Structure 1
Amino acid sequence: MADTMQFDLVSPERSLVSVPVREVRLPGTEGDLTAMPGHAPSIVTLRPGLVTVVDASGTATEFAVTGGFAEIAGDSVSLLAERGHPRAEITQEVYNEMLADAHRRKRAVDEREDVGHDAITAAAKLLADMQALGTHIGLDPDQATVPD
């Protein structure tokens, strides 16, 4: 079995990284998981959180994502993020934009009369996960302007 696998992380705005890695830690909606070379093929739905990539030398790099999907194959992980940034780029201003978008999505669901309980719960969870992401990386969720 190989010691590394290919990892690609893309968002609609740009390709963030394409490197060989030893492991990728993913914030899955059904729980966090670590993919390593030889992992069983899977498709994982992601929640807002940090993706940690460990390269062949053992150096870890983090990326903040707002959600998306990861396809895990035995020799690769391809991640399509709704929105993604290297951890070092997440300023309070960038985080405020991400959190404001989560607030807008929750409000849109709350205002619709034809949505079920599951959609309302999912929107609330998305918002809570975004708030937790900010707190985890040392940013203040209370500084974000809630859109009208």
Structure 2
Amino acid sequence: MADSFEFELVSPERLLLSEKVTEVVIPATLGEMTVMAKHAPTMTTIKPGVVTVKLASGGVKKYVVFGGFADILPTGCTLLAESAVPQEEANRDLFQRRIDALRQDISDAPTDEHRTRLEHMLGDLTHLNHAMPHE
């Protein structure tokens, strides 16, 4: 049996998950990353994507995150999401509201650098929306 570690997924709205897990796959900005017990200490930013959590109890849970960062230690991982929902709650309405808000933010961006960052986020979010199994 794989070693387990503590994982917490936190958004400003609520604590979504706090459990012992064996593996967490996170959408890090520089590429998908798998976290396991005894992982080297790392901090990384998170882009819009799906977090897949393998629970120590045997189940799997998935969450859609809309950015944030992860703090990874050998004994645990905390993902602080800008916003997150269980995957089953992610619907077209939610994505469309976020896409519309990002487009408005892009048009109001004070600098080219800020606009470019928002445009990358919009690309990630649009890609994620098309990849999600919507009802």
Q: TM (normalized to structure 1)?
A: 0.83
Gaps of 5+ in 1: 141-148
CA distance in 2, matches of 1:29, 1:126: 10
C-alpha deviation, 1:139, in angstroms: 4.2
- Residue deviations 1:84-143 (CA, integer Å, cap 9, x gap): 00001112222222222222222222xx3xx13x33321111001011111111349xxx
- Whichever residue aligns with residue 93 of structure 2, its letter is E
**1:76 corresponds to:** 76
- Whichever residue aligns with residue 42 of structure 1, its letter is T
**1:119 corresponds to:** 114
State the structure with more CA Rg: 1
- Whichever residue aligns with residue 88 of structure 2, its letter is A
CA distance in 2, matches of 1:4, 1:98: 34
- Residue deviations 1:24-79 (CA, integer Å, cap 9, x gap): 11111111111100000011100000111111244321100110011000011101
Q: Which of structure 1's runs of 4+ aligned residues deviate more than 4 A?
A: none
Contact 1:45 1:67 in 2 (8 A): yes
Gaps of 5+ in 2: none
SS at match of 1:138: coil
CA distance in 2, matches of 1:108, 1:51: 30
CA distance in 2, matches of 1:139, 1:97: 15
SS at match of 1:13: coil
Contact 1:102 1:130 in 2 (8 A): no
Once the two structures are overlaid, the 10-residue window that deviates more, 97-106 or 20-29, is 97-106
CA distance in 1, matches of 2:35, 2:48: 18
Q: TM (normalized to structure 2)?
A: 0.91
CA 1:135/1:14 → structure 2, altered by over 3 Å: closer, same or farther? same
Q: Does residue 31 in structure 1 map to residue 31 in structure 2?
A: yes
**2:15 corresponds to:** 15
CA distance in 2, matches of 1:16, 1:102: 24
CA distance in 2, matches of 1:108, 1:54: 40
Q: RMSD value over aligned CA atoms?
A: 1.7
Equivalenced residues, count: 134
**1:43 corresponds to:** 43
Once the two structures are overlaid, the 10-residue window that deviates more, 98-107 or 123-132, is 98-107
